């Protein structure tokens, strides 16, 4: 399972290139969410509460970001997915989005 911060970083990167991140939350047979999944959603909600200004209503900037990992060529296989094939994010991985006159820089990992 992906770490919660990785999900947020993936969302930042996808947002910077006009994409959408779809989360699949498995449900129990009775329709409830288990505690593990609920904790993930709460962590993401906490992150969004802090970072929402740089997420909601933003659009990609002229350059999607800077990243040593983005320069690496990763062959696409199967259905075209290469999830989990890149190097872990570092403080050198930055994604850019804009809203009105503001430019937001998302640093993908803590320096």
pLDDT > 70? residue 52: yes
* More confident position, 19 or 41: 41
pLDDT > 80? residue 74: no
Percentage of the chain with pLDDT > 90? 16
pLDDT > 70? residue 2: no
* Residue 86 CA: distances (Å) to CA of 11, 22, 56, 57, 67: 15, 19, 26, 28, 11
pLDDT > 70? residue 89: yes
- 76-79 contacts, C-beta under 8 A, 24 or more apart: none
Give the CA angle between residues 105, 87, 103 to the nearest 5°.
10
């Amino acid at each position: 399972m992906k770490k919660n911060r990785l999900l947020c970083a993936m969302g930042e990167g996808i947002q910077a290139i006009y994409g959408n991140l779809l989360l699949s939350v498995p449900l129990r047979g009775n329709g409830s969410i288990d505690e593990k999944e609920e904790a993930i959603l709460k962590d993401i909600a906490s992150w969004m509460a802090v970072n929402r200004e740089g997420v909601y209503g933003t659009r990609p900037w002229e350059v999607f970001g800077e990243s040593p990992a983005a320069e690496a060529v990763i062959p696409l296989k199967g259905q075209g997915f290469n999830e989990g094939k890149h190097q872990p994010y570092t403080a050198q991985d930055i994604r850019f989005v804009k809203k009105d006159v503001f430019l937001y820089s998302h640093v993908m990992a803590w320096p």
